[in-house]
Structure 1
Amino acid sequence: MYEDVQYEVADGIATITIDRPDVLNAFRGETLLELNEALRDAREDDSVYVIVLTGADGAFCAGADVTEMPDWGDQPKEEYAGYLWTVQNVVRQLRETSKPSIAAVPGPAIGAGCDFALACDMRVVGPEGLFREGFVRVGLVPGDGGAWLLPRLIGESAAKKYLLTGRDIDPADAVELGLAVEEAENPLAAATDLAEELLALPATAVRRTNDLVDSERGFEDYCERAIAYQWECVTDPEHHEAVAAFNENRDPEYDRDY
């Protein structure tokens, strides 16, 4: 189905792999279209409960492949805006889905590739992994979401240190800052293990908890939404099965599409 992206669904997990290893999985226009389509498929597929995003052959994504880009200075602003919207829409889709997403970062996540990882709900980083908002180094701003995402993940002052200098965030610092949930020798395997841990829980509760984590909303709005979400959960068959399994000291058995 895809040329630049691998898309696989197995046992409730959609694994999306950016597959351009010769350029550290840097993206071209076709890659962006495929990423957006794969994310739409994962969001709309009722058999998918968790999304894992990664890159092939030891890299995550090195951002845009400059060898495949036109000279934007010769193009109308509207055309560039359309291109950038397509990049932003990868971040937008990851942010807007209730299904938990996990970035497995085995190697460099640079520029927009860094922002793709930041847009996921959690990140697992490998020993050779790094995060770099390197836009300033080439005279650009983080146009894909980085200057919005990073301060919310690690705090404004720490984020500015990396945004304004273009420094790398190495695996140890990523874990210490709370940017990555763990460092693992095999980040894809660790991300899949984490996905399987989420799969063992009632899906509606997991998704609605994910929705409630929103630093942009006030407490009263949180409470109002929590009432609606909690009612959705208490009327959900998986809640009743989870309670029954707890009371009977057994593992729950959910009626799912996988």
Structure 2
Amino acid sequence: MYSDVQYETTEGVATITIDRPSVANAFRAKTVSELNDALGRVRDDDEIYALVLTGAEGAFCAGGDITEMPDWKEQGKEAYSAFLESVQDVVRTLRSMSKPSAAAVSGPAVGAGCDFALACDLRVAGPDAVFREGFVRVGLVPGDGGAWLLPRLIGESKAKEYLLTGKDIPADEARELGLLVEISDKPLGRAQELASEIRDLPATAVQGTKRLDPEVSFDEHCKQAIEHQWDCVTDPEHDEAVAAMRESREPDFDRDYS
């Protein structure tokens, strides 16, 4: 149903692939619209438990495709704001939805493409992966959340270095900074393995853990934890997980994967 994006599900794990390899998976308006639609499907499908986001044929996403962009000065601020908000919605949905996500990054993840990867909960990269908040190099500010996300992931001082210079973060450096779970020769396969590991855990606990907000005060965080913990206590998967632990066996959750 998409032209710029592939959407697949396998036993409760969705994989969304940005599929414009001729331009290193740089996006146009249609790509962003399809990404938002696919992410909405993941968010709303109770039979999907985890997401993998990746790009086709050796690239993650090289940012916006300048050959497909209109003259924004001619289009006006309102039109530009609407487009930029749609790009931001990709980041917003990845962060706000309860389903955990893993980015499988090969090659360039640049500009908004970098922000798509940063918005995922986990990142696995190939040895050729490069992350770049390169907005300043083309006379722009990070418009898609990167200047908010990166300091929270690696610390403000180091993040400012990359944000203000636009220089590359190669895979080995990204691992040292804590951006990556690991470097793998097969990042997509490894990200799908991680997503499957998470899928096989009690879903209410996983989704509640993701919903716990580290940006609120400690007291508010603890109040949120009580509400999410009660949802877990009253969840049949909690009962089954405890029973399995007591009986030294693997839990058997009652699920019908799509």
With the shorter chain as reference, the TM-score category is: over 0.9
| 1:237 equivalent in structure 2 | 236
C-alpha displacement at 1:210, in angstroms?
Answer: 1.2
Matched residue SS, 1:51: strand
Shift of 1:96: 0.6
The Cα of 1:257 is off from its aligned counterpart by 2.3
Q: Normalization by structure 2: what TM-score?
A: 0.98
Deviations 1:145-172 (A, max 9, x none): 1001100100000000000000111111
Structure 2 distance, partners of 1:41, 1:78, is 28
- Compute the displacement of 1:37 (Å): 0.1
Alpha-carbon offset, residue 211 of structure 1 = 1.3
- TM-superposition CA deviations, 1:78-130 (whole Å, max 9, x none): 01000100000000110110110100001100000000001111111101101
Q: Which runs of 5+ in 2 are unaligned?
A: none
CA contact (8 A) 2:12 2:47 kept: yes
Match of 1:154 in 2: 154
- Matched with 1:248 is 247
Distance in structure 2 (CA, Å) of the matches to 1:87 and 1:224: 32
Please say if 1:94 is aligned against 2:94. yes
Task: Indicate the residue corresponding to 2:141 in structure 1.
Answer: 141
Contact 1:108 1:130 in 2 (8 A): yes
Aligned position for 1:81: 81
* Greater shift in the superposed pair: 16-25 or 70-79: 70-79
The residue type paired with residue 225 of structure 1 is Q
1:103-142 equivalences in 2 (<5 Å): 103-142=103-142
Quote the residue 1:64 is aligned against. Answer: 64
4+ aligned runs moved over 4 Å, structure 1: none
Q: Distance in 2 between matches of 1:135 and 1:221?
A: 35
Asked whether 1:209 is paired with 2:223, we answer no
> In 1, distance between residues paired with 2:221 and 2:77?
39
How far apart, in 2, do the equivalents of 1:215 and 1:167 lie?
A: 28
The one-letter code matched in structure 1 to 2:5 is V
Work out the CA distance in 1 between the residues paired with 2:156 and 2:32.
Answer: 29
Which position in structure 2 is the counterpart of 1:27? 27
Query: 1:215: Cα distance to partner?
Result: 2.8
Cα distance in 2 for partners of 1:77, 1:257 equals 47
Q: Separation in 2 of the partners of 1:98 and 1:157? A: 30
Partner residue, 2:224: 225
Aligned residues of 1:46 and 1:257 also touching (Cα < 8 A): no
Report the Cα offset of residue 205 of structure 1. 0.5
User: What does 1:43-62 align with in structure 2 at a 5 Å threshold?
Assistant: 43-62=43-62
Q: CA RMSD in A?
A: 0.7
Give, in whole Å, the separation in 2 of the partners of 1:173 and 1:236: 41
Q: Aligned partners of 1:218 and 1:103: how far apart in 2? A: 29
* 1:73 Cα deviation from its structure 2 partner: 1.7
Take 1:175 and 1:197, find their aligned partners in 2: how far apart are those partners? 21
In 2, Cα distance between equivalents of 1:199 and 1:35 = 22
1:197 positional shift: 1.0
Q: Percent identity?
A: 66
Partner Cα distance (1:152, 1:257) in 2 = 37
Instruction: Choose 71-80 or 158-167, whichever is displaced more.
Output: 71-80
